Each structure stands twice: as C-alpha cells, then as structure tokens.
A and B are shown apart, each in its own frame.
Chain A
C-alpha cells in the first residue's frame, strides 16, 4: 500500500476471496484493502479474474470462499457493458436506479448526476439513441447515484474515444480527491500507470502483486529490457510463468 491514501481509513477489505466454477478456479485467495481516496487499478492478462473479482466486490457474484467487508457507505458499481434500459430516457434510468438504491432525495440525485455527467441536455433522450460514450457516462452516473464510498469500474474506458477518456479520468480523480475509493479493472496498462495510486496484478486468479506502478517497475529491475511500465508489466508476468 503506497501513495497519498495510505494514511486514510480503510473503505473496503477483501479477505481470501476465491471463486471456482466446477474444477476451474477463477480466483484464489485474493486479499487486499482499499483506502478512502485511493485509486486502485486491477490489471492482468485476459481470463485473469479481474471482472470476477470486481463482481464479487460489487456483490453481484457470490464468492466460493473468503469475504468482502465494507467499512461504511455504499459501493457503486459500473459494469463493463452499460447496464441501462435503452427504452427509458437518461433521466428515467437515473430515477429508476435512484429509487432502487433508496436514495433519500431521488430527484436531487438525478439532477446532480445530470450535472456531473454533462448530460442535462440529453436527459429526455432514450438511452438507445445515445452514442457509446454517452451511454457509458450514464452507466457511470448510475454507479455514483448512491454517493458511494467505494466506486468499482470494469473497463470503464473501453468504449470511449481519447477525449472522453480524459474527461472520465478527470472526473474519477475528482471523486478520489473527495474521498471515494476507486477500484477499476483495465487492459490499458498506460491508464493504470497514469491514474492509479496502486496496481493489483492478477493472473490465473492469483494476486501476484500489490503496489504502486513504480514499485512494479522496480520489481523487474527497470533495465533496458523493460524501459517502460507496460514492458515491466509484461516482464513481470513472464518471470512468473504467465
């Protein structure tokens, strides 16, 4: 655990979380804590268990073993595919999930999210008519409706163009500065390096590394064979047989 959030209180703890599908073990005893204001990137090759871990943290999947504890507040969940009703408008989607989240001020929460996502002028448009980027903004807005203490995002920028990505990370960084612990899975190693205080490296369901991007580079030596973070990450996996 490194960075500015090290001294902040723990927001979320995963303790020995594992998940098995028959004989296949998708997660094996993953343990870590997320502190308030901390940005954690989960990286790893395809099939490493990133989405499974996030789903378990979000509560939409039951672990086969271990536990997840939330110290206080709510968990906001932003799945990789926009989980929205395409026949409802932006405002109607927000209102529906605000009610399901039991937000004390439903209309206030909707207004806040419309402002935060910059979608006020599209509030009455059906989600089905929005671009992929705007759908993702609504998707994230729904994850933020409950004003969560922990925000979980699965590949949040996969459908966004560079400008939208920049805006998203600025938005997420603002949330973290306000004290929200942000845990996200990504294939984009550069985004992990740039926007994460800490990276968790998962491979074949095992947590291989937990530390800052700089610490990961130092682990593999930072020599000429790994001149940047992405090369260091690949080398790290290679050294461990992945």
Chain B
C-alpha cells in the first residue's frame, strides 16, 4: 500500500498545475466563504443622521421634560451607527455600501412628537430609513433590523405615554396640578375632592338653598375633566406606534423576495445548463478524438468555439424562457417587460456558454469538464448572493471582485432590472464583456487542444 501511496505522491508532485489549482482554489473559496459566514458584523452598520437641533431635543411629557435622544440609544443597542451630519451624507454612505441602511431623524421630529404626546395635534413624527438593496435578501435583512429596533423605541415612548396617561387619570381622580400647552399650570380639583365638597355643601345647606361658589367649582372641574378626557384620545391613538417610519430604496432591487427567488432559480438553471453543456460538448470533441480531424480545414477553432457557445446558449435560453414564463405567470410579473427578459436571458446564456467552453477547453474529457464546471460555479453563485454590508467591508470587496469575474452576479442583476426595473445596461454590458473574455480564453485554450 505504501508503494501505491508513494506513486500517487509522485504523480501529484509532477502535476504542479493540478495541485496548485486544487489547493489554491479550494483554499481561496473556502476562506472567502468562511469569512463571509463568520465575519458578518453582529450589528449591521447603519448611517445615522440626527437633524434635530441640540437644544431642541427635549419634549414635555405632562409636567416632565424628556430628552428624545435617549430613544436613539435604543436603536444603537442593535446597530453599529455611523454618525453623519446631513441626510445627503447618510444616503451616500448607503449608496457606497459602507452602511446597510441609513436612519435620518428629521429636524421637526421632536416638535411633532411633542404635538402628538403633548396634545398639540399636527402630524405624527416620522423618521426616514434608506436602503441600497443590492437584492431583496439584503433589503429584508435591513428592514427587519431597523423595524425591530424602531419598534423597541416606539415601545419605550409608548411606555412613557402610558405613564403620563396614568398620571393624568390620577389627577382627574385625586386632584393636583397639571401643565397644559398654552394654558400653563392648572390646579385640578379631582373627582374625590369634588365629591367631598359637594357632600359638604349638601350637608350644610338647606335642601333648597343653592351654594353658588361650590357649584361653580364643581362646574369648573366637570369642564376640565371632560376636556382632559377628550384630549387623551390622541395620546391613546399614538400609544401603539408614536413614531412612523418612511422607507425608501435609493438604488437597487425593488423585487419582492419571491421574485428574487424566481430570478435566482432562472439564473441558476441558466448557469448549469450553459456551463455543463458547453464544457461537456467541447470536451467530447477531444474525448472522441474528433478535434484533430475537425480542425484540419473542416471547421476552424473559432467556429468550433462559436458552435459550442451557440448550442449551450440556445439550450439555456430555451429552458430559462419556459421557466420564466411559468414563474412569471405564477408570481404575476409584468409581461409587458418580457422583451427585456428575453434580451437578458439571451445575453446571459451566451455568457455562461462562453464560460463553459473555456472550462471545456481546459479539460481533457467530459467528466472532468463537468466536475470543473460544478466546482467553479457553485461557490461563486453562493458568494454572489452575499449582500453588501452583511460581511466586513474588505471581505465584501474580495467577494465582489471574485463574483464579478463570473456571469452569475451580473446575470442576477440584469434579470432583476429586466423584471422589476432599474439600470439594465451596466449588468448587460458586464455579461457581454464576460462572454467576450471567456470566448477569447476558450479560443486560446484550443491552441493546445489537439
């Protein structure tokens, strides 16, 4: 057995390219995948712009003044904030991928919060959330994170409001002072005191002798109590969610998660059919020894590359067109945009076909071509779905470069743009460039193919 082992080691030592690719590729892909899984920040990075003037951050809740900025701390417990000064800076951080999202607190938010809680009327306070949704997975991730933290902040405010409401009710029942907007501090008699006064008045007076002053007090209490109860209605309305969220996708996908899943299924199928067919059929020419016979004037190498790319692209295009038509009908996609779908499917199929031919040109037989196609495409496709901001910045940069060298990511972006709108030209040109590069690589590999 040891001789067999020795023999195998000798073979491997004399195949430095094979060993290099085997080890190098595995290590690089595993490292990147591992980093992608492990180095995701525990708190998503969120750009935060607080536009509220510093001396205007307090709100009056009943007779107390509360600093609204304490609620921001609730947010920051769940996210890693990048503090910026303006809305534009926050949006830019998102657009650049530095932050997963941006939270902007407008300057009027405390006034509106005061208006809602302090019974002054007006619109509910609204904070702005911005996303750069590379894909719906990312958007869902950011939405869940920010909505969860905002819900906690809302809950904290609600608790404050409930406490204040309870104090109002206590004043109404037991009496005391309460501060009201415009009116100022008002002495409230309270229901119990009113009853005592009325009882005392009733006890000391003849049954038919009206006591004007006591009755006036009772009348004043009744009016104020009614007013307070009336004004408590907006407070109660705002308890569930005193702060509203206005969401805006500043760039990227507008697709739903189900549409995104359909896109991934279509591009994945395109990838497998295009790669495997092109790689396998070209390798077959070598396996069957037909290549040497073909290129002696019957077919040029360039024609051979073009034929294999065309075959694989045609098959991938036909399959994905049927798939997208069925999925589109099920998901209710806008078929008016179907000409754009077809363009993307055609260009993407050609790009995958070209990559497949490049793989087929580098291998000697069908089985190794198929294996190479799988080994290369699967991790790259998985990495292509990692959203920006979900991993450390430099890891994402590495992933971005690697996945950009293969047609899966631009294919996803192009199909998403074709289905849901957005910039189609750049990913389409990306696919065309990859098709040309892989086609050229395939043509080069055929120089040593015979």
Contacts and interface: CB of A to CB of B under 8 A. Distances in A.
A100 interface: yes
A60 B450 contact: yes
Contacts of B292: 55, 60, 79, 83
B296 A86 contact: no
Contacts of A100: 294, 298-299
B297 A81 contact: no
B296 A58 contact: yes
Interface in B263-295: 288-295
Contact of A85 (B290, B297, B298, B450): B290
Chain B's interface size range is 10 to 19
B288 A59 contact: no
A233 interface: no
B365 to A, nearest CB: 13
Interface in A73-107: 75, 77, 79, 81-86, 97, 100-101
B287 to A, nearest CB: 9
A58, A83, A85, most chain B CB atoms within 10 A: A83
A142 interface: yes
A79 B288 contact: no
Contacts of B289: 79, 81-84
A70 to B, nearest CB: 11
B17 to A, nearest CB: 16
A190 interface: no
B290 A60 contact: no
B289, B294, B295, B450, most chain A CB atoms within 10 A: B289
Contact of B450 (A61, A77, A82, A101): A61
A59 B290 contact: no
A224 B299 CA distance: 53
A14 B299 CA distance: 23
Interface string A205-226: 0000000000000000000000
Contact of A86 (B288, B293, B299): B288
Interface in B405-450: 450
B296 A77 contact: yes
Contacts of A75: 296
Contacts of A84: 288-290
Interface string A136-170: 00000010000000000000000000000000000
A120 to B, nearest CB: 23
A82 B289 CA distance: 7
A83 B298 contact: no
A223 to B, nearest CB: 43
A142 B294 CA distance: 11
Nearest to A86: B288
A83 B299 CA distance: 15
B293 A60 contact: yes
A61 B447 CA distance: 10
A83 B450 CA distance: 12
A77 B296 CA distance: 9
Interface in A46-68: 55, 58-61
Nearest to A127: B288
B94 to A, nearest CB: 55
Contacts of B293: 60, 77, 79, 83, 97, 142
B450 to A, nearest CB: 6
A82 B297 CA distance: 18
Nearest to A81: B289
B307 to A, nearest CB: 12
A100 B294 CA distance: 8
Nearest to B291: A83
Given A81-B289, A83-B289, A60 B299 contact: no
A159 to B, nearest CB: 13
Given A59-B297, A77-B293, A100-B294, 4 more contacts: A55-B450, A79-B289, A97-B293, A101-B298
7 contacts: A59-B297, A60-B296, A83-B289, A83-B290, A83-B292, A97-B293, A101-B298
5 tightest Cβ-Cβ pairs between the two chains A and B = A60-B296, A59-B296, A83-B293, A100-B298, A83-B289
